[in-house]
Amino acid sequence: MADDDGRHPSGKGRDVLQNTDTETAIRTRLKEGSVKLYELEEEVPAVDAIRIRREFIEYETGIKLDNIGIFSIDVERVVKRNCENMIGTVQVPLGVAGPLQVNGEYAHGSYYLPLATTEGALVASVNRGCSAITRAGGAEVRILHDGMTRAPVFAARSVAHAKQAVDWVAGHEAELRAAAESTTSHGKLIGIAPFIAGTSVFFRMNFDTKDAMGMNMVTIASAKAADLIAQGTGARLVALSGNMCTDKKPAAINGILGRGRSAVAGVALSHDLISSILKTDAATLFDVNYRKNLVGSARAGSMGFNAHAANVVAAMFIACGQDAAHAIDGSTCLTTVDPVPTGVYVSVTLPSLPVGTVGGGTAVETQQECLKLLGVAGGGTPPGTNAKKLAEIIASGVLAGELSLLGALAAQDLARAHQQLGRG
């Protein structure tokens, strides 16, 4: 028997078929087009709306969606904040790598990394990297920059007017800061960087968003400041996001100035550890990184110089309720291998990790459990420390992934590992 919310008492739920007069009427209206799919939550509880909507899609397409209808999360909040027109969930296998010793300013201890992925060999690879780092004493990791950006674009009448607008903003930053911060109890406007391209004027506004990833926060705050800029300068606000932010696209500006949390992690590996765990030697590890990650990436015109950093970023983002589209930011990682007398010092620099521990998908129950696993669920004390801790852990996980893949390439072992663990 199912609970009232349509889930089995075990928590491994599946909403159950109902045939009330109300639902029969709704199905008829859906077919007639007199009620829209997105309106169902206005007529019935969310769990019922999800089921009716899914049944309608099954009817329309002739495809059974039995497994999509199995879920354990509480959908009442999800349909309001995370997903419109919900018909169920897609389950992604979740693995764990570790323990990984992290020696950061915010994350200091041993962690098991939750990795949501369908790529065979990924978790095993990261696990090997975790072993190497932990046996070496742990990953050193630091946050270099912390700030989320939004960059509205304005149209000026001429280049002279564009420069006047920039000068006006420079002289009114305190007023703009007060306007922006009036929209939020947490966000703080750190600075405004102007950019001119002909008659287009961009103001890249940078905010401290505490433990939130903060895109919604900074968008609302930037809108308030942008209105003030338009009134004060006479420049026309064209778009609240002018792509100088830059959001969900690989961009040199994020790599140079940073966006979200910028993190760097490194570890010193001895000759013995390189040999025993990675099955190669320091010289070969350096050569692979130099010719693949640095020269190969440069020759290809890549905006990232790494082996597969986005793999780990995406897997941890999905597991921990981050915006999965921001995994693109992980691809701008720079991986370096420095020869030292005792072996090598390997580091990863991630200039853009838009992460948060409150808001967005972090409150979904399965993702919340992964955040709790890392000790970063909810707001930190003081505010902002949990998000920085999460960024340090992810950066350390990326370091583990880079180490393992570089080792596999150096040992000519990549194909065998994928054949064994990533078949199909």
Residues with catalytic function: 119, 323, 418
What's the CA gap between 46 and 293, in Å, rounded?
48
- Nearest CA to 206 out of 231, 181, 232 is that of 181
Judged on CB neighbours under 10 Å (0-12, 13-18, 19+), 332 is buried
What's the CA gap between 230 and 212, in Å, rounded?
28
Q: How many alpha carbons fall within 13 Å on the CB side of residue 338?
A: 8
Q: Give ∠ CA 415-416-419 in degrees, rounded to 5.
A: 85
Residue linked to tokens 């338009």: 230
What's the CA gap between 132 and 400, in Å, rounded?
8
Contacts made by residues 251-257, CB under 8 angstroms, sequence distance 24+: 251/303, 252/303, 253/204, 254/329, 254/332, 254/351, 254/352, 255/303, 255/332, 255/351, 255/352, 256/351, 257/145, 257/193, 257/204
Q: What is the 3-state secondary structure (H, E, C) of 261-285?
A: EEEEEEEEEEHHHHHHCCCCCHHHH
